[in-house]
Amino acid sequence: MTDAAAPAPSPEAAEALRHPPRVSPGTLAIAVTAAVAAVLVILFVWRLPPFVTTLQVTENAYVRGQVTVMAPQVNGYVVEVAVQDFEHVKRGQVLARIDDRIYRARVEQAKATLAAREADLANADQAQRARAAALLGREAEQASAQAQAARARADLARINDLASDGSVSLRERDQAVATLRQTEAAVRQTAAGGEIARQDIRSVAVSRDGLRAAVEAARAALRLAQIDLDNTVIRAPRDGQLGEVSVRLGQYVSAGTQLLALVPARLWVTANYKEAQTAHMAVGQPVTFTVDALGKKKLRGVVEDLAPATGSEFAVLKPENATGNFVKVAQRIPVKIAISPNQPLAARLRPGMSVVTKVDTKGGR
């Protein structure tokens, strides 16, 4: 069985096969443009040449400041709250007062103790001077006794010479011997008295050292009491703006109780960039940032410093990748950004605000 012969193509079809339709120049241009645009979009999204940018952007950034939490150093009842919520204060301004009657009494007690110790020391000084005078008297008596002993010794020598030829009686010689012995005993007695006087001086000197230490201890106690009294007045350590004032009149507070927070005027921005983004960052590079709370308005700053370690290194519980399956996670490095001066909007910044930062890694180098 043979296949049937295929029908012959029509003249129109044969002509179309010999001469295919041409694409119009407009259609070709549109197709080429679309292809080029798609390639450019891919290059832009992946930041490939020629769209490599020097701007490093992150939304993981916040306004920071050294917020001071004010707390008392002494216990007591609050008798005055001199400020209100969100008030601007100056350095040294009184914020609150604690009842100081007990602390004033302690100061007076410390003053009285110091006066008593100083009186004891003055008495010891006087006793030492008296002992020194007594020693001089004993030394004078000893010198007098030594002189009398020397005279008695000379008299006895002369009497012995005279007694050899019978010019002096034995009675007179015995009396001279007795006189010499009495004067020598007087010398020994005055020497012992002098030694006693010296020991008294040493004893008083030791007592004075102890009394002098007691005076210094009393002075230190007075200083501590005065410090506690001064600490009953809580003052602002710097210029700034207060947060919520949580302390209330009549409240009993103890040392370390949080009363209020003080936000200083100096603020900065901390931006947490991925480690790869910091490859070309350096101190002094210009920064622009927008703040969500300010309607995305731009402010200026400069890179002040880069953290010495990634944020995870400062965490209490550090990640441990020694066991299990490892998944590489890009770490972030905190970058401190100083806010440029003479910007009116900077006065509206508050710690904790969210910002978007852009660091120009090409500038400032």
Where residue 205 sits, what CATH number does that domain have?
1.10.287.620
The pLDDT value recorded for residue 166 is 65
- 306 in the same domain as 351: yes
Q: What is the pLDDT of residue 349?
A: 92
pLDDT at 1: 44
In a domain, 257, yes or no: yes
Number of structural domains (the chain) is: 3
Cα end-to-end distance, the chain, whole Å: 90
Shared-domain flag, residues 132 and 82: no
Residue 27 lies in a domain: no
158: burial class by Cβ within 10 Å (0-12, 13-18, 19+)?
exposed
Q: Using the 8-state DSSP alphabet, how is residue 66 labeled?
A: -
Q: Which amino acid type is present at position 123? A: N
Q: Residue 183: CB partners within 8 Å, gap ≥ 6?
A: 145, 148, 149, 151, 152
Pair (152, 250) in one structural domain = no
In a domain, 33, yes or no: no
Low-confidence ranges of the chain (pLDDT < 70): 1-23, 43-53, 135, 161, 163-170, 319-324, 364-365
Residues 6+ apart with CB under 8 A from 203: none
The answer to whether residue 13 sits within a structural domain is: no
Q: Burial of 339 by CB count in 10 Å (0-12 exposed, 13-18 middle, 19+ buried)?
A: buried
Residues 169 and 318 in one domain: no
Give the Cα separation of 148 and 98 in Å (integer): 77
pLDDT at 197: 74
User: Does residue 24 fall inside a structural domain?
Assistant: no
Q: Are 92 and 133 members of one domain? A: no
Q: Tell whether 155 and 275 lie within a shared domain.
A: no
Would you state the pLDDT for residue 357?
A: 95
The closest of 294, 292, 297, 276 to 361, measured between CA atoms, is 276
My answer on whether 307 and 278 are in the same domain is yes
Q: Is 31 part of any domain? A: no
Considering the domain architecture, whether residues 193 and 240 belong to the same structural domain is answered as: no
Q: Are 150 and 55 members of one domain?
A: no
Cβ distance 152 to 185 under 8 Å?
no
120 and 186 together in one domain:
yes
* Residue environment code for 227-261, b if the CB has 16+ CB neighbours within 10 A, otherwise e: ebbebbebbbeeebebbebebeeeeebeeeeebbb
In a domain, 160, yes or no: yes
Q: What is the pTM of this model?
A: 0.64
Q: Which residue in the block uniquely carries the two structure tokens 């003053």?
A: 111
pLDDT at 49: 61
pLDDT given at position 73:
94
Domain holding 355, by residue range, is 47-66+266-360
Residues 325 and 348 in one domain: yes
Q: Is residue 12 domain-resident?
A: no
Tokens of 234: 């809580």
Same-domain pairing of 210 and 353: no
Given this model, what pLDDT does residue 188 score? 79
